[in-house]
Amino acid sequence: MTGTATRPAFITGGSSGIGLALARQLSARGHPVALFARNADRLTDAVASMPNARAYPCDVADRATCEAAVTQAIADFGAPGWAIANAGIAEPGEFMSQDIAAHEAQMQTNYMGALYFAKACADAMGDGRLVFVSSGAAFFGIYGYSAYAPSKFALRGLAEVLRVELAPRISVTLAYPPDTDTPQLAAEARTKPAVTKAITAGGGLWTPENVAAAILKRADKGRFTVAPGAQMTALLWLHSLAAPALRAWQAGVVRKHRR
């Protein structure tokens, strides 16, 4: 990609977790960094931890606010060479007891927020790298994720289309992080049903730094997918074939917990 080595990196959800780790690693390479997130205080702390970084407090779920923040960052730094849509929220819950508002909020942030950000960046960047951070929940239906999983399935669909439409000008990468030690994972635990905890247990826990390094390594090479770890790699390649077995296994977990 022309000049991406010195062009700025724009990252949503950049105040903590994987987003912050990505920002620090790109900053260490010499990229100016623009961080977008809702929590202004955490953003201030984040930009203070690296050189040539600026904070753009905004809620990516609000189109006007997201577009205005990207426009300001472009005015400050120039068009991005990297645009990473990482912001996301997760609130697990059982479909029959979870309010529709939870579904709307997760779709609006996880999918629409990524869409708003990607469009604003792609319109300006000419060429470069566009990265979407999805989830293993985009591979198959998981008990307790009726609000979260569809937003990540939708994000996967967007990335699949843009991979074709934007090539070769913009390289698109879609990441499927395993469970990562982030504030979002801690927040998920507060509402995660017992069945969901049993289903998602045992996959190990990655650090944000290791996940970020895996994402950048694959994106640097122009690869479309990033699936760190054996579990995510297996799901990436085998999820369609394994879907019946995964459904049967989940049904067994549900029966056990309902006895």
CATH number at residue 15: 3.40.50.720
Is residue 2 assigned to a domain?
A: no
Per-residue confidence (pLDDT) for residue 189, from 0 to 100: 87
Helix axes 17-28, 208-220, angle to 10 degrees: 60
Residue 258 lies in a domain: no
Q: Is residue 198 part of a domain?
A: yes
Per-residue pLDDT at 199: 86
pLDDT of residue 160: 97
Catalytic residue among 56, 111, 145, 148: 148
Q: What does the alpha-carbon distance between residue 171 and residue 222 come to, in Å, rounded to a whole number?
A: 6
Q: Confirm whether 248 is domain-assigned.
A: yes
Domain residues for 62? 9-253
Judge whether 55 lies within some domain.
Answer: yes
In the residue annotation, 134 being an active-site residue is answered as: yes
**Residue 240 annotated in active site:** no
Are the beta carbons of 93 and 74 closer than 8 angstroms? no
Total count of domains within the chain:
1
Which residue among 15, 16, 27, 134 is the active-site one? 134
The CA distance from 11 to 31, in Å, is: 12
The model's pTM: 0.94
pLDDT score at 5: 67
Give me the residues paired with residue 82 across strands.
9, 129
pLDDT at 246: 85
Catalytic option among 152, 171, 176, 192: 152
Taking the C-alpha atoms of residue 32 and residue 46, their distance in angstroms, rounded to an integer, is 13
Q: What is the per-residue DSSP string for 122-171?
A: HHHHSSEEEEEE--GGGTS--TTBTTTHHHHHHHHHHHHHHHHHSTTTEE
| Per-residue confidence (pLDDT) for residue 249, from 0 to 100 | 87
pLDDT at residue 1, as a whole number: 52
- Establish whether 217 is a catalytic residue: no
How confident is the model at residue 65, as a pLDDT?
98
pLDDT score for 181:
92
> How many Å apart are CA 159 and CA 184, to the nearest integer?
22
Residue 31 falls within a domain, yes or no? yes
Q: Which two tokens stand for residue 87?
A: 């912001």
Residues lower than pLDDT 70 in the chain: 1-5
Question: Omega of the bond prior to 51 within 30 degrees of 0, cis?
Answer: no
